[in-house]
Structure 1
Amino acid sequence: MAEGAILAAVELLGQALATEIVRLASSHASEIAPTISDLETKMNNITMELRVMQSLLDQMDIHDQSNKTMVTWLVEVQKAADRIKDIGDEFIHLVSNQKFGKRFYLKSLFKEPKSLIALKQIASRLETAEESLKRLGELKERWVSVIRPEPGSSKNNTNQRPAQETVYLTDEPDIVGIDDNREKLTNLINSKEPHLSLISVWGMGGIGKTTLVTSVFDREKKNFSCHAWIRIRQAHKADVIRNLISEICSHGQSNQIKTDHMDLRALKETLRRLLQQTKYLIVLDDAWDQNSYQGIRDVFADSHQGSRIIITTRNADVASLARESNRLELKPLPDKESWKIFSKKAFQFEQNHVCPPPLVELAKHIVAKCNGLPLALVSLGNLLCEKTESEWKRVHDQLPWELENNKNLQRLKSVLNLSFNHLPKHLKQCFLYCSMFPDDYRFERKKLIRLWIAEGFVEQIGGSTLEETAEGYLAELINRSMLQVIKKNYSGRVKRCQMHDTFRVLATSLCMKDNFCLLYEGEYINRNAHVRRLSVIKSDNNIGYQVPLQQLRTLMTFDLSMLNSPLLTKDIVKFTYLTVLSLENLSIDSVHHNIGNLFNLHYLGLRNTKVKLLPDSIEKLHDLQTLDLMGSKICKLPDGIVKLKKLRHLFAEVLIDSTYKLFPSRSGIYVPKGLFYLKDLQTLKAVESTSMVVEELGNLTQLRSIRIWNVKENESAGLCRSLSRMSSLSQLSINASHENELLRLENLNLPQIQKLVLNARLKENILEPPLFQISGTGIHELWLGWSQLQNDPLPTLSHLENLTFLGLQKAYQGQRLIFKAGWFPKLKILVLRHMPNLIQVEMEQGTLLNLEKISFQELTQRVEFPKGIQHLKNLKWMICRDVYFEGLKNKGIYKIYHFNCQVV
């Protein structure tokens, strides 16, 4: 991606120019000052060239793949920008290693011949880079034709319904799986509501929005005295109105009106006049943002005759313009209907469209790749019709290449590309990055955000943190139907998401074409490949010899068999530009002792490895933002960790008991004192409690999430004081040294807390102010473990009206729990575990109105079957483990009490 490479290079040069040495050099007369001044001049010149080049790209139709000369030129621009970024990183690293303080830094550099030589080498490389950019400018003028859209042009943005472009299922029998949605849309159109209504039909590209609306529109338009269909995309509102007038007049619904010389005001008046006292049906197809409709909504007169406007979109924000009851989201087809629509095309000449036995497995895999997307099913079905088994296998094995190069898939490619091309620049890199993970990979929201930040994709905006800005990026990709939500957390936020298989094929083909990343699956690689990011899905341990990796920026591994690959042993420290190194789940027991030479590393992922120690050279990773050691064997961090001033997220915890029945089930790590002066640190999971930790913890006032283990009673007061200084803390987990350790936490005051885990014996007054009365109103998730409370905690906890998750494990010593009417109105999940004395649970009518899942585990007494559970109308799951309900012989009987609930 040339655009992204240029933006990254410009930003990096800006950072280089802002370094202290550049400012000092202008007023210093040492031998090194002219070299620095020369560097500054070259950086400014290159920055100017890149900015002009970026402006040029903004005007060019860079998505026109038919212009092969331009495509080649863009690849060279990207390579040049990447080289400039490497030079900038080296410069910043060289001049940021200040051992003698800022005042004497120029003198210290002068005394270091190696530093002076390195600076002169950087100056020489910058001069070469500058010449390269000039040469690219000359090549563009000589060979690259630039096609600029005319101002205000509406080409391909607004026009009448294009039969070949938008309707890909033309025959009624081909329209599979839309009967329910067609009926819903028909009912919305024909409802008795007299007022003008907006109806939105939305979903990802190729899902069948236009096909559905076409089917209904053609049937229902006869019931309206006026009708029109136009595509709006990102057209100027004057063009939209002009086309609406033309469409209405073209069907003989009014005399032809000449609009060529009308201004916007006249156009609006004309359209209002046409629609007054008329029952009309209008389709606004393919709206990309809310302004597409908001800018013209005032022209739609409401004559109270049941007029309807249907808007189709890929964007959830646009769909939200219609009231909730008028929104129709189209989702991927289920497996059975996917197979049916694919078979109708692929085996259209076979009797009853039956798949020949030799093709069954290949056909199943290809249908699975389509993941219920109708356009993909139809396109690939047509492509493979009457093809040989070897041709089927070729398409299956190289689908990204086929999408990029096979003319018979042009329609599918165009529809998918449209979604990508309309993404803002800052989202394109984020989207392509998601293709670096294996098929069907489920992204954990926070991890994906940390990776985007490490890669430099996220821009600092106002007072928001990088994480908050990146979360907005993710929400936008989801709203644009580019990513699918797989799971939400208890408070309704996205927890995991996934890339649709067909969009991943698109992203993979774009990555290959744009040199964004290389997905290695053991196949041959072009030795001239420009590899900046490498994702090893399947390894043969030879990749380091197949392709040059000197400029590698990102390395992710997903093949657990590459344990002894030279890439991870002796070669890893050669990739000095590495920004992201993720070796999660590999059974490695050590990392290279010179890993500190990777001066540019921002993200180091060693989660679930067998690594026991971090080398001392870790202290040299001054730009490290995320250090993920969760589930490794590391119990103590080296003292040099305190030098990582840019560290934002530290994960390190050792698993003791995977069943979580023992206490403690995990342990934290021991950390040096200086760690608590890292002012960028936001996440600390998890740390072993000591008197030093308790005392120093309060210095991390910017911390947002912390888990602490092995807390003793005599540390309670100090821990409360330190934690109460953290005004941004939203997630807290406190775990005692053993299950009978009493922690006095009643003085905790956490106004921003949203998720709270307390595993310790607690005083009875813990549920009184301030923790659960003042700050508790914001708590969404609460876990109380081993609390051993004698008094029923529910009356006090019931005041936590925003609670969506409640877990009680050995938290209550009593025999009865009664959930009264009106309690816990937002609670979705309730866990009752290891309550040795509990014999009765009762739910009054009107309690737990939104409960979806209830879990009973390890209740050692014979417990009465929960009384009133039939009142929980939204209950979907009831989990029972190591529990015996009095009077019931088998789980099947549970369904008598709640027929909508699945019992596990």
Structure 2
Amino acid sequence: MQIKGIRAAAYDAEDVIEIFASKVEFITDKGLVTKLTYYPLKIVNLCKIGKEIESLQMRLNGIVDSREKYGIKNLGEGMSSHGEELRRLRRSSPFSEDKDIVGFEEITKSLVAELLKEDKNRRVISIIGMGGVGKTTLAKKVYNHVDVRERFNCRVWLCVSSSYDHKEMLRSIIKQLNTMSKELLETLEKMEEQDLEQRLYLELQDKCYLVVLDDVWKEAAWDCLARAFPDVNTSSRLLLTSRNLDVALHADALSMPYKLKTLGQEDSWQLFLRKALGPGADGGCPPYLEEVGRDIARRCAGLPLAITVIGGLLLGKKKLKSEWEKVLNNISTYLSRSQSGVSEILALSYADLPPNLKFCFLYLGLFPEDSVISVRKLIHMWIAEGIMQKRDAENLEETVAYDVEQLFSRNMVQVAEMTVDERIKSCRVHDLLRELAIKKAVDENFFQIHDTKDDEISAKSRYLAVHILPWYKKYFGSSTPPLRSLLFFNVHAYRGNVSLSFKSFRKLRVLDLEKVRIYRLPKEIGDVRLLRYLGLRETRIGKLPHSFGCLRNLQTLDICSINWKVKVSNFIWKLESLRHLYAYNIRCNVSLKIEGLSNLQTLSGIHFDDIMHNNMITLTSLRKLGILLDVNSEIDKLCMHLSVVGSLKTLHLYRTGGREWPTLAGLSKLHHVTELKLSGEWKMLPPDFPPNLSRLSLTFTYLMDDPMPILEKLGQLSFLKMKDAYHGRQLIISRHGFHQLKFLELRALHHLDEIKVEKAALPQLLCLRIRNCSSLGMLPEELMHISTLDKIELVNMPESFISRLDVRDPHKGSSAPYLRIFDYSFPQRG
């Protein structure tokens, strides 16, 4: 309760300061006469903020007094015993190998082959994955494999864990290499780190050794051990398990880590049967238990540790449907109370996060179960929350994108969709990690989720996610919580008009109403002066009020709507903090003024005429621009107009109807543009391209002629994506074509039945992705001879196509590219 009190006081202090600053800013922007008029109000506000700060000080003093009165210890005191118990649970041993293993057969073979590979150099092979996914179980299976035992004349197992002692780790390895004696123990206790390292090095230098380093959390843990492992042409190996991809790459950048994923539904079910029914499970599940049993297995979301714990619990219970239903309805409680500490083991990953990433992870808990979350949207929201304030203001988006990568590399989030050049487009959170985020958020007074019709909104809520709306009720009632974020999800089927009173929400930073059936925003929206993110995508709002111009702190405004036009007054130019404007289908009675927005980085869905009526050179930060064109749009004049925008890197041109096509001439004037996207029914390629173009996307262009003879001559093109872009049956890539292309994606080319690749074409290609090309007969044989080609990804391709392929494991070292096959026809879990 103390921590909650301190955190609540900190939130209140920040609110007081920001609200006062916004009021002062409002007065400062006025003329001299207005400033004099408002001067008494400024004095009143100063007096008010003084009283509020005094009240906060009294609250903090009360917390300190209660701490002393009740003898409450400092944070961290008295917690060591719990930490020791958890470390004891996590301490692994190679001797207690689990025989009930499901789904590891192929990866075990691959790992053993990697360890036995003829390579005299010392190599590090890594297994990575989220907590509880089975990394240690897999490592034990490999460690005890008969071929591994025969190959290595010296094997050592070391559990490192999140809190490690360098000297103790060195001593542990030395003890495993020697016959234990009292003299040895006394000697090791007296030795310093350097002496221990030297002794271990000497003991291993003439051996073909295998050392398993289980549960490595930090790069520093590897660094302090690495120098004690000799690399002297004895074909020695180290097998490392970690939750952190960066640790694995740091240990050996030349070895591709083995990513251990959660189990699929059928493997989960088989493991559950073995754990819940015991050795006799080969006979299958009793029919009366199967439905509830499969529900339990699904709730474990493919995590082997969770399945093992719940299955073991059911093994000791009567085989009654009522008993299994009781476990199903209380599965989170059983996992948190289990002796194996499933929830605590997952919580270790949270505890290891730096403060800014803890905030980001907790924020993910606001999203509904199984949500596919747009990374772009997340980045905008997190910046709006102010967690990046101490960083480079110009590069906030890149910095936060790195934080998303960090959560991914630590296996705290899963990638839902990735571009062909490995940029994360969307992500999801494993169900059990989401439950962890919710639990931690409640413990830390972070947010509230409204997911039943009877939920009441807490008067103390600061971050609120609405998953279910009550029918025909005034939503917030008399409650006026000090909300910072208000997010709505999956409420588009709500039959009433969602009505919000913004007088109660003046502390809001983030408001997301995407797909909510709301028809108007009250003029009081202009009083929410701290608002930084406003999502109105696919709402029913027909007009934005004039008071929008008062939102001087707004950073992201998303008012895209495919089927609903939104009228706006000419106020956009007043939003001086605006960084991202997504404006597809907005309408203004006059030309929309945007010039002078020096912070604007993204401007998407703006009409050609509006662009031409603005002095674009004043948009000094503009990087991404999306323009709607019609048959009357003069592209050559547009390109001349944009040629002065030195910061512009990405240009997206949308064609919006009409039977005639504007000529795409003049693109060669855009020297600064490196990425071009063309969308809509163009029928033919432009006669010229930006001279420094490195990325090109063609979407719904319906080209009639093979575009490859033109595109393959673009000298700097490294990325090409074609989605429903070509209606022909054949693509031909000629000799020496695309000499810089590294990433190629062909998607939804439904008429394409043949790809021809001539010899020496695509000499730099790293990855080819083919998705939903339903008529394609086979892959060109010439692809197998491109030495740089690392992988070919096949997504939602016909069974007849897949059956002709020879799938290679990436870890076996073949020169042929690695084939990865995905089927996203149905929702994927785990």
* One-letter amino acid of the structure 2 residue matched with residue 368 of structure 1: R
1:186-585 alignment runs, 5 A limit:
186-219=112-145, 220=148, 223-225=152-154, 227-249=156-178, 255-256=184-185, 258-320=187-249, 321-325=251-255, 327-348=257-278, 352=282, 354-385=284-315, 386=317, 389=321, 392-393=324-325, 395-397=327-329, 399-400=331-332, 403=335, 406-408=336-338, 411-462=341-392, 465-522=395-452, 525=455, 530-541=460-471, 544=475, 548-560=479-491, 563=494, 568-585=498-515
Across the aligned residues of Structure 1 and Structure 2, the Cα RMSD in angstroms comes to: 4.1
Cα offset for 1:735? Answer: 3.8
* One-letter amino acid of the structure 2 residue matched with residue 90 of structure 1: I
Cα offset for 1:514? Answer: 1.9
Cα offset for 1:511? Answer: 1.9
Q: Deviations over 1:785-841 (max 9, x none)?
A: 3788899853654545412313584799xx986321343453432369799xx9997
Q: Which residue of the partner structure matches residue 26 of structure 1?
A: none
Give the secondary-structure state (helix, strand or coil) at the position aligned to 2:615. Answer: helix
1:755-794 alignment runs, 5 A limit:
755-757=676-678, 766-767=687-688, 771-772=689-690, 774-776=691-693, 778-782=694-698, 785=701, 793-794=709-710
Q: Which residue of the partner structure matches residue 813 of structure 2?
A: none
Q: Distance in 1 between matches of 2:750 and 2:260?
A: 43
Q: Distance in 2 between matches of 1:671 and 1:251?
A: 88
Q: Distance in 2 between matches of 1:538 and 1:250?
A: 65
Q: Deviations over 1:694-728 (max 9, x none)?
A: 54233223112111113566743442233223333
Distance 1:736 1:527, change over 3 A: closer
Q: Which residue of the partner structure matches residue 705 of structure 1?
A: 624
* Residue 826 of structure 1, aligned match among 709, 734, 742: 742
Q: Which residue of the partner structure matches residue 63 of structure 2?
A: 136
Q: How many residues align?
A: 788
Q: Deviations over 1:722-752 (max 9, x none)?
A: 3223333332112457432224324422435
Question: Does the CA contact (< 8 Å) of 1:400 and 1:509 recur in 2?
Answer: no
Give the secondary-structure state (helix, strand or coil) at the position aligned to 2:60. Answer: helix
Q: Which residue of the partner structure matches residue 628 of structure 1?
A: 558
1:146 is aligned to 2:74:
yes
Q: Distance in 2 between matches of 1:329 and 1:902?
A: 16
Cα offset for 1:356? Answer: 4.4
Cα offset for 1:442? Answer: 0.8
Q: Distance in 2 between matches of 1:299 and 1:827?
A: 41
Q: Which residue of the partner structure matches residue 818 of structure 2?
A: none
Distance 1:685 1:419, change over 3 A: same
1:745 is aligned to 2:745:
no
Distance 1:694 1:819, change over 3 A: farther
Q: Distance in 1 between matches of 2:260 and 2:500?
A: 51
Give the secondary-structure state (helix, strand or coil) at the position aligned to 2:539. Answer: coil
Q: Distance in 1 between matches of 2:302 and 2:234?
A: 38
Identity %: 26
Distance 1:389 1:79, change over 3 A: farther
* One-letter amino acid of the structure 2 residue matched with residue 679 of structure 1: S
* One-letter amino acid of the structure 2 residue matched with residue 186 of structure 1: V
Distance 1:518 1:546, change over 3 A: farther
1:693 is aligned to 2:612:
yes
1:682 is aligned to 2:601:
yes
Question: Does the CA contact (< 8 Å) of 1:287 and 1:293 recur in 2?
Answer: yes
Q: Which residue of the partner structure matches residue 804 of structure 1?
A: 720
Distance 1:401 1:467, change over 3 A: farther
Q: Which moved more, 1:341-350 or 1:309-318?
A: 341-350
Q: Distance in 2 between matches of 1:878 and 1:345?
A: 34
* One-letter amino acid of the structure 2 residue matched with residue 128 of structure 1: S
1:74 is aligned to 2:11:
no
Q: Which residue of the partner structure matches residue 637 of structure 1?
A: 568
Give the secondary-structure state (helix, strand or coil) at the position aligned to 1:436. Answer: coil
Distance 1:370 1:839, change over 3 A: closer
Q: Distance in 2 between matches of 1:433 and 1:892?
A: 40
Q: Distance in 2 between matches of 1:867 and 1:284?
A: 43
Cα offset for 1:313? Answer: 0.6
Distance 1:528 1:798, change over 3 A: closer
* One-letter amino acid of the structure 2 residue matched with residue 775 of structure 1: N
Distance 1:840 1:365, change over 3 A: closer
Q: Distance in 1 between matches of 2:139 and 2:794?
A: 37
Distance 1:669 1:275, change over 3 A: farther
Cα offset for 1:419? Answer: 0.6
Distance 1:899 1:124, change over 3 A: same
Q: Distance in 1 between matches of 2:414 and 2:219?
A: 21
Q: Which residue of the partner structure matches residue 577 of structure 2?
A: 646
Distance 1:265 1:582, change over 3 A: same
Q: Deviations over 1:404-433 (max 9, x none)?
A: xx5226610121011110011110010111
Q: Distance in 1 between matches of 2:425 and 2:123?
A: 34
Cα offset for 1:459? Answer: 3.9
1:862-877 alignment runs, 5 A limit:
869=780, 871=782
Q: Which moved more, 1:126-135 or 1:219-228?
A: 219-228
Give the secondary-structure state (helix, strand or coil) at the position aligned to 1:495. Answer: strand
Q: Which residue of the partner structure matches residue 120 of structure 1?
A: 47
Q: Which residue of the partner structure matches residue 178 of structure 1?
A: 104
Q: Distance in 2 between matches of 1:190 and 1:896?
A: 30
Give the secondary-structure state (helix, strand or coil) at the position aligned to 1:144. Answer: coil
Cα offset for 1:570? Answer: 4.5
Q: Distance in 2 between matches of 1:760 and 1:351?
A: 58
* One-letter amino acid of the structure 1 residue matched with residue 133 of structure 2: I
Q: TM-score, normalised by structure 2?
A: 0.84
Q: Which moved more, 1:488-497 or 1:174-183?
A: 174-183
1:727 is aligned to 2:665:
no
Q: Which residue of the partner structure matches residue 885 of structure 1?
A: none
Structure with more relative contact order (C-alpha pairs < 8 Å, separation 6 or more)? 2
Distance 1:290 1:902, change over 3 A: closer
Cα offset for 1:250? Answer: 5.9
1:95 is aligned to 2:24:
yes
Q: Distance in 2 between matches of 1:273 and 1:780?
A: 56
Q: Distance in 2 between matches of 1:761 and 1:179?
A: 50
Q: Which residue of the partner structure matches residue 811 of structure 2?
A: none
Cα offset for 1:775? Answer: 0.5
